[in-house]
Amino acid sequence: MTQRDLASTQYKAGVLIEALEYIKAYSNKTVVIKLGGSAMTTPRLAEAFAEDMALMRLVGIRPVVVHGGGPQISELMKKLGMQPRFVAGHRVTDEATVEVARMVLLGQINRRIVGLINRHGDLATGLSGEDGNLLVTTRKFGPSGEDLGLVGEVVEVRPTVLQKLLDDGFIPVIAPLGISSDGEVHNVNADTAAGAIAKALRAEKLVYLTDVAGLYEDLGDEDTLLSEVELEDLVNLIRSDKLSEGMLPKISSCVEALEGGVSRVHILDGRIEHAVLLEVFTPEGIGTMVRAPGSPTESEFRALKD
Amino acid sequence: MTQRDLASTQYKAGVLIEALEYIKAYSNKTVVIKLGGSAMTTPRLAEAFAEDMALMRLVGIRPVVVHGGGPQISELMKKLGMQPRFVAGHRVTDEATVEVARMVLLGQINRRIVGLINRHGDLATGLSGEDGNLLVTTRKFGPSGEDLGLVGEVVEVRPTVLQKLLDDGFIPVIAPLGISSDGEVHNVNADTAAGAIAKALRAEKLVYLTDVAGLYEDLGDEDTLLSEVELEDLVNLIRSDKLSEGMLPKISSCVEALEGGVSRVHILDGRIEHAVLLEVFTPEGIGTMVRAPGSPTESEFRALKD
Amino acid sequence: MTQRDLASTQYKAGVLIEALEYIKAYSNKTVVIKLGGSAMTTPRLAEAFAEDMALMRLVGIRPVVVHGGGPQISELMKKLGMQPRFVAGHRVTDEATVEVARMVLLGQINRRIVGLINRHGDLATGLSGEDGNLLVTTRKFGPSGEDLGLVGEVVEVRPTVLQKLLDDGFIPVIAPLGISSDGEVHNVNADTAAGAIAKALRAEKLVYLTDVAGLYEDLGDEDTLLSEVELEDLVNLIRSDKLSEGMLPKISSCVEALEGGVSRVHILDGRIEHAVLLEVFTPEGIGTMVRAPGSPTESEFRALKD
Amino acid sequence: MTQRDLASTQYKAGVLIEALEYIKAYSNKTVVIKLGGSAMTTPRLAEAFAEDMALMRLVGIRPVVVHGGGPQISELMKKLGMQPRFVAGHRVTDEATVEVARMVLLGQINRRIVGLINRHGDLATGLSGEDGNLLVTTRKFGPSGEDLGLVGEVVEVRPTVLQKLLDDGFIPVIAPLGISSDGEVHNVNADTAAGAIAKALRAEKLVYLTDVAGLYEDLGDEDTLLSEVELEDLVNLIRSDKLSEGMLPKISSCVEALEGGVSRVHILDGRIEHAVLLEVFTPEGIGTMVRAPGSPTESEFRALKD
Amino acid sequence: MTQRDLASTQYKAGVLIEALEYIKAYSNKTVVIKLGGSAMTTPRLAEAFAEDMALMRLVGIRPVVVHGGGPQISELMKKLGMQPRFVAGHRVTDEATVEVARMVLLGQINRRIVGLINRHGDLATGLSGEDGNLLVTTRKFGPSGEDLGLVGEVVEVRPTVLQKLLDDGFIPVIAPLGISSDGEVHNVNADTAAGAIAKALRAEKLVYLTDVAGLYEDLGDEDTLLSEVELEDLVNLIRSDKLSEGMLPKISSCVEALEGGVSRVHILDGRIEHAVLLEVFTPEGIGTMVRAPGSPTESEFRALKD
Amino acid sequence: MTQRDLASTQYKAGVLIEALEYIKAYSNKTVVIKLGGSAMTTPRLAEAFAEDMALMRLVGIRPVVVHGGGPQISELMKKLGMQPRFVAGHRVTDEATVEVARMVLLGQINRRIVGLINRHGDLATGLSGEDGNLLVTTRKFGPSGEDLGLVGEVVEVRPTVLQKLLDDGFIPVIAPLGISSDGEVHNVNADTAAGAIAKALRAEKLVYLTDVAGLYEDLGDEDTLLSEVELEDLVNLIRSDKLSEGMLPKISSCVEALEGGVSRVHILDGRIEHAVLLEVFTPEGIGTMVRAPGSPTESEFRALKD
């Protein structure tokens, strides 16, 4: 081995050793990842995400993936001659629409993620929120009481099926569908589903992979990206009415998760390859982090493990 | 309570007690059920099937459901302007077709079965043969070597995910999709998938719910229904070339399962309400039974448990 | 199968499905049954009782049987030239009498029940309250302080041996004998023993199989059978001094068990074949039910499980 | 502490340390003890036996007690006006007789042993060979084919209930009754039952507590006590026809047990206080020992553990 | 066996039976023994100690041994030309000294104890307080703030490694070294280490094997040995300033252990062979016992188990 | 984050992902590492080794460390005025020498490794081959029968204590001392000890960290380093008599381990930082690898896991 080869090889060792303290800190902890559309836009991004999940699982972390699929649902609806309709950002959902949503979410998107992860072993298994009655929902109404049809609000999470699969070494990949107590199937906002699941599992971390770099102090100015904000700031943000329709459920779910026992929520840029891996295994800060009040800082948290 | 009420009530007790010896005999045994389309043709038939599964699970039997969905796949293809094409009974399957198959199997049919069972508890969880790499497949070719595209032949069953879910008290409901070692998704014949899974789990019983009353000595004559046949008879049947394209994979899978450790295969009429329940919990013979050579008769089997 | 056969068969399926929700609700719950003499008066009644126990165990319920044997004790005493003597309904018990009681309870009655149940599998195992020091007793005195000899009052239940046998899948059949801290063997009232055991196991249900149809509003009038009464009513009944010497320990034990964590007590007519089975697995009300205040009604209870 | 006290105390320490290597060698091993009548003839003998059982259990050995009760059965029969009748040493047993046997064995003798052991903790639990269908029997006939009635020959031991109780830390005390496959209760020779149970449990040791000092080279001469004999010698002894009717089943059971996997059988004098304890925990040889061919000698056995 | 042999043998049985109630009482309890130098002064004393540990472990008690080694450390230091130095009874410890301490404690003394115990089986395993970060320490200063160098004060016990080894059936033998949070190795007083470990394990008993017979009312007068004292008396003793430098850490650790959940502390004379065995398994009182207020007396404690 | 930062960060991700397939392949596998002196010569090398061990353990591999310490033993001997003496490469070992060896191995070297690893968590625990009688030895003699004194040859490995500690999540660090059946302590060659332990644990991999780069085709020519050799080549090498005294036990142990079930042995250069990590987690070949005949190549091995 030449000196040059050796130097390059030693650099590799350094990276692995740097990861050591993060592996220690997250060992046996649950991390819920909401996978937004942007993280799947190129094959390479999708593969990198799958690699991240496999690596996390193999080093002893318990990842849970929740995905959405709005654009793909609209696309298939159109192919079938149906007209998507929205009220205040919510898809108005009749029975035919929920059928399409199920087909797209479970038959396309869920499968793609499961397949990519399983290239690395018998690791992932797809789930609908209907399986084992995981997500129990009621009908949700629009902000002014509009009838949205079969749109679900999560009223209970029955996490047994998830806990069993996690204990058995699998990575659950969840499509955000819910089931009401009288057997009605509901379409659920994926951000909200991820938050509710993280809370029910008392996850250590909840990660939103989005198509923005994070939260900004001044939304128009990219230089004002916030690397850490307080729970209080999020609450103010919601009250400020300045949030877009897409960000509102995300931010509301963050608040609910943090108040319900999750220690840390991250809003990451899904367009960066291996964004989750970098967040979890390196000191480099990516995106915006929100910490539950009273929970240790990242470095305190790692120190706890020493 | 009047005498009449009492008599009716006592009759109920008799039915339950009659079930006792069957519950004993099948306690903790695995039963794989291939659910054919006919068993889902009316809501009542479908609900009755779901009740049967829930009852079996609750009294300590381990049911596994495998379903197909050919007609529904063709239907959605037509809606999307695609033309189903068959060679020797096999659907020629390109990538667009397999996408449709996944959507229909996982987003429609699998969901419907899971939903009906879960009315009775947090019992069922849907699975694709892709989950945990359950069904590993290679491309299958037509009888004369025709290229069928993404049609899969099962080369390995990795039953870990099934065994874990069964041990955890769930009812797995499986869509017959497979995954090749290089990540290609394949459409698999549901009869074949059920047989391969039964064999891998060394199931006690494999049940085919079909749209016929069973096997006939003389196919045209309903009075010649056979209540029991030998494995040898099936082998002869296959060699006779008299089997329809629909029956061939069923009968071939029967043979393979019986030779691979399954004790008993049943071909039942899915159009009879609660056909599975009646087969498992009552002495009334329904349909046709094939026993593995050397395995005990039904009454010997029950006696073993005493 | 003729249409008529099919109808009859379908009726059977209906009965089994009706049982489904009861099996769900009682899955893994403990039910203590006090078996009174009347339930053993004919061979058929006794066999039906044994079938009920076997069925309950096999579908996942944990039955515990407690039996008495007063008349048979008196009978053997007479054969041996001894004179039974009672004070305020309690058998005055010297050492010779307790020897006879042990022989009758353990050598006759306990054996008969165990034998009938074990026709359905290796299910039952007989126990004395002395085994594993299950029932720790002190001498009990008559209402006016009369010396009753070796009659025991339960001061402690050490349920380990029961819990182990239940966890191991057995049906314990218990003869009501107790052991004092200084090694004296005591005869214990079987109703009281059943109540104390139900309380110690925090049983879901305590069933008294008696020789009456239940409690009556007006004792002389068969039409005034009460299908449900309140705990409060029982307390009043005890205070009213209207209870017979046979009913007093039963009713007192009911009160103690309900106050000690048992949810429901039933007083059933042991002369009805399969009385326990019908109570547990069908909606038909038999006898009288007393519910612990605050515990759910039967239908609420079942709904909890859905 | 005076020098004298100290010396006495040190002697105690020496005895305990001497026991150390025996405790090591028998740790977690099963020892079946057939308790003959002579070991119960004085209260002190019986108490000493109970102490031995408790000590063995507490230091990690798994004792199983099997007892007889012939004389007491005859006694109660006479009290009830029944006439005991024997053919070739076997009690001719009609239904009334088996009822008496059950009452005496389970209601008297079994209870007495359980009670004495349980003074030392919640340790013993009584069992009939009927419990959990432990001893499955068929009718046995006399040497010349005489009908002996309900006398049982063990055809199968179903040891689950014993193994569970042993694993749960209990000492099973077993009355030698059997149950036939059609539900007939049989009286079983206690020596035979002990041998069959030892074989089914693959016990390390089977001990017969008898009313003789052991086997003699010359039966009439007390000085010819044999401290060790070969299995072959026993076989010759049986063929010699010199064995008494009482010794024959003992010796035959020894042979069967040794051939079935038991390593060592001991014939001890039950009239010596703590005979079992001395046999197991001290180097002093008591009675006669028979070793399975090929199994290690006592000192080799202990050395294995070091 | 002669009458004389029999009498001697029976005496042995008596000793074993006497031990029975102590074995019962201490079954599965943890006992921490601080082994002082005097108990190792002759080979026979050391062997007897090892026998005691092996016997305790084999009858189901969980012994933990903590040892010191001051004189041997000084001896090796002198051989290596180093000069031991003490301040207020504490060895002033520089880096070279702690290296010597580790070599002596782990390479000599710990090994000797492990070796003697392991003659009786694969029982003992040596540990430093550094293993698994068992004893976390900070630097301790002298009574007037003197710098003692690498002398440790225990700030945390991380007992996982001990609990695992105890659960796995081993006897941990611990050298009193500690590790600070920044990786500095400290020499720890063995009496203090034993007390801290006993407290962390909530041991039933803590035994100090010393070179005195126990505590005296009047230190100069051997006849005033105290067989039992109150915790309060110890507290007064500490305040009285009458304790020698060697007894102070012992007595302080007693107080801390008793206040921290240990039920009983014993100060025994290590020069008596089998002192621990005699204390634990016989009624003879040796040395001085201190009971935690509110904890049962020795005889109450044993009675609890009955 | 600048583009440059991002590129560097992405490179890190790439290194982690590259490690993924190695983590998969070695998950739950045992790897025994013989740590030679050269790997401890600088503080940085020693720390890097400790990091490697911690990382391996945390990602689910089971590392076992065996170390030597010859030079340090000689050094302390000299300080104590003793004269090291060697016969055919073996240290002639009298009692004083073995005492020094124990002090150095257990009190110095073992401690240093344990301490460095435990900076990363409560991970390591030191062991002597005497603990739990792990290494049972007899005296070894020189090649011409010379008396070497207390030098041990491993005759049995009793791996229970290792397996328990590995199952409990610890990293055992083992000093190569052995114990004979009569209690004599022996000094064991560390290479031999490592090989025997790897064989007893059926380790996946045995790694020798040495002070050479590997095996050379032509010993004098650094350019002839062999990256892979056959077991057969090793056997020939031994027969060739060309091996140095230091390499002989290493190569002999390799052969024994490979023939005894270990799949792969590596001879690595301990002077390279993170040599073990690089060998295990990257594709870069370091040093020389020997594969057991019939075992899969490295890439086949990893493919097995997919």
pLDDT tens per residue, range E104-148? 999 999 999 999 999 999 999 999 999 999 999 999 998 889 999
The pLDDT-based confidence of E298 (bands split at 50, 70, 90) is low
Structure tokens at E219: 């230190």
Are the CB atoms for E200 and E214 separated by under 8 Å? Answer: no
> What does the pLDDT average to over C129-151?
94
The 10s digit of each residue's pLDDT in C36-83 is 877 788 999 999 999 999 999 999 999 999 999 988 999 999 999 999
Q: Which of B208, B127, B119, B209 is nearest to B160 (CA)?
A: B127
E150 touches chain F (CB under 8 A): no
Give residue F1's pLDDT band: very low, low, confident or very high (50, 70, 90).
low
Name every chain B residue with its beta carbon within 8 A of the beta carbon of C59. 23, 58-60
Average pLDDT of F156-169? 96
Helix (H) or strand (E) holding C233: helix C231-239
Tell me, yes or no, if A303 comes closer than 8 A to chain F by beta carbon. no
Judge: F170–E161 Cβ closer than 8 Å, yes or no: yes
Q: Quick check: C170 and D132 CB within 8 A?
A: yes
Q: Do C105 and D102 touch (CB under 8 A)?
A: no
The whole-angstrom separation of Cα C158 and Cα C162 is: 9
Do the Cβ atoms of F121 and A306 come within 8 Å? yes
What is the per-residue burial (b if ≥16 Cβ within 10 Å, else e) of F130-161?
bbbbbbbbbebbeeeeeebbbbbbbeebebeb
Closest to E80 measured CA to CA, from F112, F76, F99, F100:
F76
Q: How many CB atoms lie within 10 A of CB D69?
A: 23
Q: What would the mean pLDDT of E215-243 be, rounded to a whole number?
A: 82
Judging contact as 3 or more Cβ pairs under 8 Å, the answer for E and D is yes
Q: What is the pLDDT of residue F165?
A: 96
pLDDT at F12: 86
In this structure, what token pair is assigned to residue A22?
A: 């993060």
Beta-bridged to residue B67, according to DSSP, are B35
ipTM for the predicted complex comes to 0.90
Report CA torsion sign: A51, A57, A60, A63. positive
CA-to-CA dists, residue B70 to B97, B179, B185, B250, E304, angstroms:
11, 19, 17, 15, 71
| Those residues with Cβ within 8 angstroms of residue E293's Cβ, 6 or more apart along the chain or in another chain | E230, E231, E232
DSSP string covering chain B: --HHHHHHHHHHHHHHHHHHHHHHHHTT-EEEEEE-GGGGSSHHHHHHHHHHHHHHHHTT-EEEEEE--HHHHHHHHHHTT----EETTEEPB-HHHHHHHHHHIIIIIHHHHHHHHHTTSS-EEEEETTGGG-EEEEEEE-TT--EEEEEEEEEEE-THHHHHHHHTT-EEEEE-EEE-TTS-EEE--HHHHHHHHHHHTT-SEEEEEESSSS-BSSTT-GGGB-SEEEHHHHHHHHHTT-S-TTHHHHHHHHHHHHHTT--EEEEEETTSTTHHHHHHHSS---SEEEE-TTSPPHHHHHHHH-
CA distance C134 to chain B (A): 30
Share of chain E above pLDDT 90, in %: 59
Q: What is the pLDDT of residues B267-291, one digit of tens each?
A: 999 999 999 999 888 887 688 999 8
- One-letter amino acid at D220 equals G
Structure tokens that stand for C283 in this block: 């909606």
> What count of Cα atoms within 13 Å lies in the side-chain half-sphere of residue A191?
22
Q: For the ranges B11-20, B173-182, B221-230, D64-73, which has the lowest average pLDDT?
A: B221-230
Residue E147, class by beta-carbon neighbours within 10 Å (0-12 exposed, 13-18 middle, 19+ buried)? exposed
Phi, psi of F35 (to 5 degrees): -95, 110
pLDDT in tens, D30-53: 999 999 877 788 999 999 999 999
Q: Are F83 and F77 a contacting pair, CB within 8 Å?
A: yes
Query: Is residue B125 pLDDT above 80, yes or no?
Result: yes
The whole-angstrom distance between E205's CA and the closest CA on chain F is: 25
Q: How far apart are CA E199 and CA A16, in angstroms?
A: 40
Of E104, E108, E179, the CB nearest to F118: E179
Q: Is A18 on the interface with F (CB under 8 A)?
A: yes
Among F52, F55, F222, the strongest candidate for a mutation testing the A interface, having the largest count of A CBs within 10 A, is F55
SS3 of residue A197 by DSSP = helix
Residue A155: its pLDDT value, please? Answer: 96
In angstroms, the first-to-last Cα distance of chain F is 35
Percent of chain E clearing pLDDT 70 (strictly above): 95
Q: Which of D103, D113, D162, D173 to mutate to test the interface with C (most CBs of C within 10 A)?
A: D103
pLDDT at position C233 over 80? yes
Ranked by mean pLDDT, the top range of C12-26, D268-282, E216-230, F150-164 is F150-164
What integer is the mean pLDDT of B253-259? 89
Mean pLDDT (chain B, rounded) = 89
Strand order in the sheet with F264-269: F124-128, F171-175, F62-67, F30-35, F205-210, F264-269, F288-291, F228-230
Question: How far does the CA of residue D49 sit from the closest CA of chain E (Å)?
Answer: 11
Q: Which of B283-287, D70-74, E250-254, F196-200 is predicted with the least confidence, judged by mean pLDDT?
A: B283-287
Residues of E in contact with D18 (CB under 8 A): 12
Q: In C, which residues are within 8 Å of D112 by CB distance? A: none
Which residues have a Cβ under 8 Å from the Cβ of C245 and sit 6 or more positions away?
Answer: C88, C89
Q: Give the pTM.
A: 0.88
Is residue C306 scored above 50 in pLDDT?
A: no
pLDDT over 50 at C189, yes or no: yes
Q: Per mean pLDDT, which range of A18-32, A143-157, C156-170, F240-254 is the poorest? A: F240-254
The verdict on D58 touching E (C-beta cutoff 8 Å) is: yes
Q: Taking 90 as the threshold, does the pLDDT of residue D242 lie above it?
A: no
CA distance E51 to E281: 13
CB D254 within 8 A of CB D195: yes
In Å, the largest CA–CA distance within chain F is: 71
By the 10 Å C-beta count (0-12 exposed, 13-18 middle, 19+ buried), C4 is classed as: exposed
Nearest to A54 among F20, F54, F286 (CB): F20
In B, which residues are within 8 Å of C4 by CB distance?
none
Q: Are D69 and D109 in contact (CB under 8 A)?
A: yes
Q: Which two tokens stand for residue B121?
A: 């508890």
Of the listed ranges A295-304, B216-225, F275-284, the least confidently predicted one is A295-304
* Distance, first Cα to last Cα, chain A: 35
Q: Is the pLDDT of residue F306 over 60?
A: no
For residues C65 and C56, what is the distance between their CA atoms, to the nearest angstrom? 12
What would the mean pLDDT of E43-68 be, rounded to a whole number? 95
Q: What is the pLDDT of residue E282?
A: 83
Closest CA to F123 of F91, F80, F171, F189: F171
Measured between CB atoms, does D7 come within 8 Å of chain E?
A: no
Instruction: Select from F12, F18, F60 the Cβ nearest to the Cβ of A59.
Output: F60
Strand locations in chain F (E): 30-35, 62-67, 86-87, 90-91, 124-128, 135-141, 147-157, 171-175, 177-179, 185-187, 205-210, 228-230, 264-269, 288-291
Cβ–Cβ gap C278/B12 under 8 Å: yes
Q: Do E and F touch (≥3 CB pairs < 8 Å)?
A: yes
Tokens of D266: 């001991």
3-state class (DSSP) for residue E164? helix
Residues of C in contact with D99 (CB under 8 A): 107-108
pLDDT of C2 above 70: no
pLDDT at D34: 96
- The alpha-carbon gap from F170 to the nearest alpha carbon of chain E, in Å, equals 8
SS (H, E, C) D64-93: EEEECCHHHHHHHHHHCCCCCCEECCEECE
H helices of chain E, in order, are 3-26, 43-58, 70-79, 95-104, 110-118, 160-167, 190-200, 231-239, 247-259, 275-281, 298-304
The tokens for F57 are 């353990």
CB-CB under 8 Å, F170 with E122: no
Work out the mean pLDDT of chain C and round it to a whole number.
89
Q: How many residues does chain B have?
A: 306
Nearest-5° Cα angle at B15, B9 to B16: 95
In this prediction, residue B92 carries a pLDDT of: 93
| pLDDT (0 to 100) of residue C4 | 65
- As beta bridge partners, residue C65 has C33, C173
Alpha-carbon distances of C251 from C50, C148, C234, E123, F285, rounded to whole Å: 25, 21, 7, 57, 82
Q: What is the pLDDT of residue D298?
A: 67
What one-letter code names the amino acid at F24?
A: K
Mean pLDDT value of segment F184-195: 95
Question: Highest-confidence range of A274-288, B30-44, C202-216, D106-120, by mean pLDDT?
Answer: D106-120
E15 lies within 8 A of chain F by CB: no
Residue with tokens 């106050």: C259
Mean pLDDT of E195-216: 92
Chain C residues with CB-CB distance to D102 below 8 A: 107-108, 111
Q: Closest Cα to residue C193, out of C140, C114, C232?
A: C140
Q: CA nearest B101: which of B188, B35, B41? A: B188
How many C-beta neighbours within 10 Å does residue D11 have? 12
Distance CA F113, CA B225 (A): 77
Q: Which of D3, D11, D17 should we substitute to test contact with E (largest number of E Cβ atoms within 10 Å)?
A: D17
Contact B170, B123 (CB under 8 A): yes
Give E158-200 pLDDT, tens digit per residue: 999 999 999 999 999 999 999 999 999 999 999 999 999 999 9
Q: Which of D72, D80, D133 is the best mutation test for C, with the most CBs of C within 10 A?
A: D133
Of F99, F103, F160, the CB nearest to E122: F160
Residues of chain E contacting residue D11, judged by C-beta atoms under 8 Å apart:
15
Per-residue pLDDT at A52: 95
Of F212, F51, F28, the closest CA to residue A18 belongs to F51
